[in-house]
Amino acid sequence: MIVATDFQPTLTRPLDTLRMDTLEKALHPFFPANQNNFIAVRVDATFKKIVYRIGGPQIRPREPLLELSKRQVVKTYENVAGTLFGFYSPPYTNGICVAGFHLHFLSADRQAGGHVLEFEAENVELKAAVNTHVHLELPASEEFNQELMQPDLAKDLHLAE
């Protein structure tokens, strides 16, 4: 699934520090009535620590996400400037996407980046915007409809994330 937006932040907030486990708490006071909406997020900061993964290569067509995740590489950087960006997806969307935060990192020098697993940041500029429009397109191919999608896909998504 590809998620994209023309990011126009409605919130810009400087913070001394921010961690993965405090991101939702930092945003909630500004978006209390939007708990069922998607929220686009951007964090520019110096990351005291950032842990991210890079997905493994696909070896054969239609490989399950869980198999790809077994070949992922996890990296940790310390004291690196960069940007986190991504989305908060509300709980009812789990299965179509992963509920909660899905964030990616790109270092300021563009030499490092991937899917964020954990972070500790300082000198933070937090930006966010509520997204009330969602457009979903499904493949029209015969291949897409050959197999019934697995009902436990949400469990695999959670494990892979």
**What integer best gives the mean pLDDT of the chain?**
87
> Which residue numbers in the chain have pLDDT < 70?
1, 149-161
pLDDT score recorded for residue 154: 57
Cα separation, 51 vs 120, in Å, equals 9
pLDDT score recorded for residue 65: 76
Cα separation, 11 vs 119, in Å, equals 21
Write the CA distances from 68 to 3, 16, 62, 131, integer angstroms: 20, 37, 10, 30
pTM score of the predicted model: 0.83
pLDDT score recorded for residue 63: 82
Structural domains in the chain, CATH included, are: 13-132 (3.30.1330.80)
